[in-house]
Structure 1
């Protein structure tokens, strides 16, 4: 697996997502189409684990979180940027998703969750915000951001 191969793999998914509303219906569609026990999920999870080991994913660290943007929003990824984080029992920085966010949750520890979600997909709609949290162990999370839009802000007082 190389970054180029990874991009082709991601593009097979983002091609199906381009132009779709980021909402609960998309969450259901993703989990039905690319389930956590399915071939595409396994291929993506294996690619992410390989990328972390080889150092081309999650090649930065801050606040106990390993992270990295592997691709800006590109025509090849249908306008989605691609980030991967490696988190263990930690909450990340609060941020807003101006255009929404699609997350692929890949537990490295059995039972690890991301924002309370187990292995699989989670979709946040446009304008949503959260403090991303991995609990019950360690997980890799792949983030797809339309047009790469994300805004880090402190939480409201």
Structure 2
């Protein structure tokens, strides 16, 4: 897996959602169009595992969270950025999503859930704030951020 091949996989998803509001309807669309047991979701999950093993994804670590921005916002993926984190049974730093956040939840061990949601897609709307939490196991969470916007806040 190369960064270029990974970007091509992500472009398929961002092409399907470009211009849509970030809301519960988008989460439903993503879960129907790219279900967790479907080929596109599984290809992205495998690409994440391969990229982490190759050392270019989740190449930083702080507080038990492995993370990294994989793709900066660009036209090829409709001005989304892509970040991937690996978390196991912990709560991450509080942050806000000025333009919203789309989460792809990829359980790796146990019955991992991200903010209470299992394998699949979850969407936070513009202006939302949370402390990302993985419970009941270990997971990758891939974040699509419109224009790469994220603001870490004081807790």
Which is further off, 118-127 or 8-17?
8-17
Deviation at 1:110, TM superposition (A): 3.4
Give the Cα separation in 2 of the matches to 1:72 and 1:36: 25
Cross-structure match for 1:24: 24
Deviation at 1:154, TM superposition (A): 1.5
Report SS of the residue matched to 2:109: coil
Aligned residues between the structures: 155
Cross-structure match for 1:151: 151
Kindly report the root-mean-square deviation, in angstroms, between the aligned alpha carbons of the 2 structures.
0.6
Report SS of the residue matched to 1:52: helix
TM-score, normalising length from structure 2? 0.99
Deviation at 1:17, TM superposition (A): 1.3
Q: Give 4+ residue runs of structure 1 displaced > 6 Å after superposition.
A: none
TM-score, normalising length from structure 1? 0.97
Cross-structure match for 1:123: 123
- Structure 1: unaligned runs, 5 residues or longer: none
Give the Cα separation in 1 of the matches to 2:105 and 2:20: 20
Give the Cα separation in 2 of the matches to 1:30 and 1:70: 21
- Structure 2: unaligned runs, 5 residues or longer: none
Give the Cα separation in 2 of the matches to 1:84 and 1:150: 14
